[in-house]
Amino acid sequence: MIYLDHAATTYTDEAVLKEMLPYYSEVYGNASSLHAEGRKATAAVDQSRERVARALGCKKNEVYFTSGGTESDNWAIRGVAYAKKEKGKHIITSKIEHHAVLHTVEQLEKEGFSVTYLDVDEYGTVSPESVAAAIRPDTVLVTVMAANNEVGTLQPIKEIAQICKERGVLMHTDAVQAIGAVPINVQELGVDLLSLSGHKFYGPKGIGVLYVRSGVRLQRFMLGGAQERSMRGGTSNTPGIVGLGFAIEKAVNEMEENNAHVTALRDRFIAAVTERIPYCRLNGHPQSRLPNNANFSFQYVEGESILLSLDFEDICVSSGSACTSGSLEPSHVLLAMGMPEELAHGSIRFTFGKRNTVADVDKTVDVLQNALQRLRAMSPLFPG
């Protein structure tokens, strides 16, 4: 199997898994319990919070554990919107956000909030100027992702956060794809809220973090017990928290080495595809992109049929966003970048990871070339 879908999820690193395992059936106390078993879990959760804080450059009490990126996005946006609704009900986001953000702001629109969806350029970049121009007296939140999950384009978060700070508006970023791929320090970036998810950097699934700068008022989201300083009810997912803390530390420590590996594979892939496969184009920003991401549009063919053809050869890729599969609409990200629908339908995302090899890249290019020849021969659009 050749797995080239690391933006969808990564495997859990063996060292991470090893850290987690004792917290299932040995140290299984509830981190909220007062007894010794509970205190052991509390200590583990605490240590993990410390690791996350170090990785992000923030304080421990600014780190809230959640069930993942989606919950963090939901909480950040709704939490700010509801807490600030007396001040204003306007939110700014971009057209290329993950559905965890887009569907949340769409719901808020139904509840009487107004939302501005910023355009992006052909590379999928949000311009800080467009943010500045969209801010109104009643704007309470700007939410723009750090790196796009489909095309990998990095966003000018620091510049946008600076504008938000000057204008007295809170700034949230969905950094789910960026952690472990680009340096993320919340102080340097100047963001007020940040979402991340464990399973995108070789940590476990079902665990995430919302960073909330101290002093930011946020409405509670998950009601229940007094966990997470009474801000997020629910028994602490100790194994998940331990895994995330260990994984983020490892990801940050090994970032340079990992990036060198995946970038070399990615660039080899891009060069080979561009050279050997006609009628294709690389989507996203040519330089300012995630080190492991290559997203291509292949003219005259439809993405799912490419995906299936690769799947027959045990190669795992994704067509557009994995979340979009099952829907017939082409990727909202590619359309926002101005791509014609026909071309957007023929787009495939390849995201490389730590275990991938040069042989994986070469095999994939061979299979891809054959698949495209076959599918194009079948296509009524192909000029031949």
Partner 1 sequence: MYNEKVLENFRNPQNVGEIPDADGVGTVGNASCGDIMQIFLKIENGIVVDAKFKTFGCGAAVATSSMATQMIIGKPIEEVEKVTNRAVVEALEGLPPQKIHCSVLAEEAIKKALEDYRSKKAAE
Tell the smallest beta-carbon distance from residue 30 to partner 1 (Å): 39
Residue closer to partner 1 by CB (options 15, 308) is 308
Residue closer to partner 1 by CB (options 286, 383) is 383
Looking at this protein, which amino acid is placed at residue 229? R
166 counts as binding partner 1 under rule CB under 8 A? no
Please tell me the count of residues contacting partner 1 according to CB under 8 A: 20
Instruction: Please tell me the distance from the alpha carbon of residue 21 to that of residue 242, in angstroms, as a whole number.
Output: 9
Tell the smallest beta-carbon distance from residue 69 to partner 1 (Å): 24
Residue with tokens 């290329």: 96
Residue with tokens 């850290």: 19
Tell the smallest beta-carbon distance from residue 300 to partner 1 (Å): 7
Instruction: Please tell me the distance from the alpha carbon of residue 72 to that of residue 56, in angstroms, as a whole number.
Output: 15
370 counts as binding partner 1 under rule CB under 8 A? no
Helices (H), 111-213: 128-134, 157-167, 186-189
Instruction: Please tell me the distance from the alpha carbon of residue 184 to that of residue 147, in angstroms, as a whole number.
Output: 11
Helices (H), the chain: 14-20, 22-25, 36-56, 69-83, 99-110, 128-134, 157-167, 186-189, 227-230, 238-253, 255-276, 303-312, 332-336, 341-344, 358-378
Residue with tokens 């170090």: 54
Tell the smallest beta-carbon distance from residue 283 to partner 1 (Å): 17
Residue closer to partner 1 by CB (options 90, 376) is 376
Residue closer to partner 1 by CB (options 148, 305) is 305
Stretch of residues binding partner 1 (CB under 8 A), selected from 133-141, 228-236, 274-282, 374-382: 374-382
Instruction: Please tell me the distance from the alpha carbon of residue 45 to that of residue 83, in angstroms, as a whole number.
Output: 28
User: Max alpha carbon distance in the chain (Å)?
Assistant: 73
Q: What angle do CA 328, 329, 331 make, to 5 degrees?
A: 130
Site string for partner 1, 217-256 (x = CB under 8 A): ----------------------------------------
Residue closer to partner 1 by CB (options 112, 326) is 326
Stretch of residues binding partner 1 (CB under 8 A), selected from 221-229, 238-246, 262-270, 376-384: 376-384
Packing angle of the helix pair 69-83, 99-110 (nearest 10 deg) = 30
Catalytic residue among 58, 164, 316, 323: 323
Is 280 a catalytic site residue?
A: no
Find the binding residues for partner 1 in span 282-321 (CB under 8 A): 300-302, 304-305, 308, 312
Instruction: Please tell me the distance from the alpha carbon of residue 372 to that of residue 362, in angstroms, as a whole number.
Output: 15
Tell the smallest beta-carbon distance from residue 253 to partner 1 (Å): 39
Tokens of 248: 């983020």
Q: Which residue among 26, 328, 359, 383 contacts partner 1 (CB under 8 A)?
A: 328
Instruction: Please tell me the distance from the alpha carbon of residue 364 to that of residue 310, in angstroms, as a whole number.
Output: 8
Residues of 263-288 as b/e, b for ≥16 C-beta within 10 angstroms? eebbebbbebbeeebeebeebbbeeb
Cβ neighbours of 383 (radius 10 Å): 8
Site string for partner 1, 335-354 (x = CB under 8 A): -----xxx--x---------
381 counts as binding partner 1 under rule CB under 8 A? yes
Residue closer to partner 1 by CB (options 215, 383) is 383
Tell the smallest beta-carbon distance from residue 272 to partner 1 (Å): 25
Residue closer to partner 1 by CB (options 169, 301) is 301
Q: Which residue among 79, 208, 330, 353 contacts partner 1 (CB under 8 A)?
A: 330
274 counts as binding partner 1 under rule CB under 8 A? no
377 counts as binding partner 1 under rule CB under 8 A? yes
DSSP calls for 273-305: HHHH-SSEEEES-SSSB-TTEEEEEETTS-HHH
Tell the smallest beta-carbon distance from residue 364 to partner 1 (Å): 18
Give the single-character DSSP code of 13.
Answer: P
**Which active-site residues does the annotation give?**
323
Binding site for partner 1 (CB under 8 A): 300-302, 304-305, 308, 312, 326-328, 330, 340-342, 345, 377-381
